[in-house]
Chains A and B, each alone.
Chain A
């Protein structure tokens, strides 16, 4: 066994300054002070944070069907640049990922690309139509080994169908990721329903439309003893409901997006569709409640909901513009800005909510491994992101590796840069630029 890379002087999430040796099998061979290795590439991580590779449970890669906006290759390249070593590709492609064939295609495109792990999320219902269950077991039994199912973008609204889905996936310890949006309460909805939506003349998306579905689904999960994951929680009331559900021992996990931790509905005053997203940007009080919920463990993970869109679907009237914003390449700086620099959490917690927890939710064994104190794990697959929190920059979406530029942080000054990323022991990002992909063996 030869040591191929040596990361020196970095601080792991437990606050310990340590060297990290990566071997040719793509495994963390050794952790410790003053490691030496002949012939290896040395990465000086002094004054940097060394995190386990980030894991995103909520990514839209757009392929198949909308390759103009993103492909598996471009989306995972963007993910790698953002420090991610695993993404979960939502099912709302065209065709929808509702069969073994489509999930295997996405899975295989991910392997070909070689920038991160790609785990396709299977649709809960055929064609996301909310009428009958897709072949969940077939997707689980496929090469993609899907355990996470979601109609994301559309709520599994029918309570009976939701109940059946929660029951059905129990046979293989799967889970349903719910896009909580009561459809009748959100017909034509354009933004958070508030005094501002009334002033702007935009149809409102009330908090109750999210909260009522979450309330229903945690009770369903309790009733049938299954696992439910709430996607992109956006309101203070939702945080309260999830906190209550967890206190009852209900098997619920929850996710928040970086943009809901930072941006508020006030941006909609510009009528610039780059701020149009579903669920919509909410109020200051919601942002603060989400931050607290993430800090105290009520919310388990950060999911980017990276939603690339072409320019033509964004440079148009607000009401017809597509919903969604890119997020993979800005996620970590936004979490630093909203959670770390505010003193709400430390780097151990960042590693928890952006890597260990999503891995635990999906039951990954080769991502997100941390010791109890937040150290990296010797013998673990070398999925690692090196991060320089002091680097200041102004967000310029045209420099992003994503094919789309619909970043709401455009021109915003943030801190933090992912400088180096190791994916399965191969350096896919060096000096904040992507290098070469990992070659999966056939």
Chain B
């Protein structure tokens, strides 16, 4: 099958494109910047019909990763990329005769700030999702699943906290803060959270594009994780150690961190810069969210191949070689 991967300039997009290619599929990637990947490439914007049409020529399946993921930004910025962009892609893909569509979503589309303790993929809810990123991803997921029909199978895959060597989203930020001596725990980092090593997220997406037309798969949403929940404290310790930095020891209470996040959003937001802390981030770092992986593994006929411990070793090696 010929598969279009959007957003391949990011870490997950690139690893996913390689994983799908590794299963014997033909790849075309689509993003604004050059990807540097050894695949057919169309560069452009999601709102650029003409570029999308070109990218979709002869394509059987789409894995849609492209999105605005930053912490800051206005509602309209998020909406235009995440909601409108997805709508455009769905419409044009269907018109181009694409039969399989994987929408890459996020567990935050169903996270209302309360702890998630072992549950499956709950319905996306833009009303309760936290922050514009989550709200717009929820809107887009609902739209994508609504487009599921007999000749156009759609599945939403929600990888949770993806990390790996070279990741700037999560690992990069944590290490930067640790280097600056500004990494601390909230409420001692006791919340239990799931994370996903990047290769596992990529193999799950590769499995999804192959399985999407199966009756128990299309039209549904699945959370993807390593299935090895750990405390925030343990994860931050492992990541900082991999980079040869001391583990965080300082802890601040939730309330103080939340207020600090609020202030930071105001202060940095007015300058249009990314604040060092947001309320959303504080909640994410202080609240349990781990999931039921049984439905995902059964439906996608997939299991994560890289265990957490191995992932941290690979991360350590990567930092040592730099």
Real binding pair? no
Residues of B whose CB lies within 8 Å of any CB of A are none
Residues of A whose CB lies within 8 Å of any CB of B are none
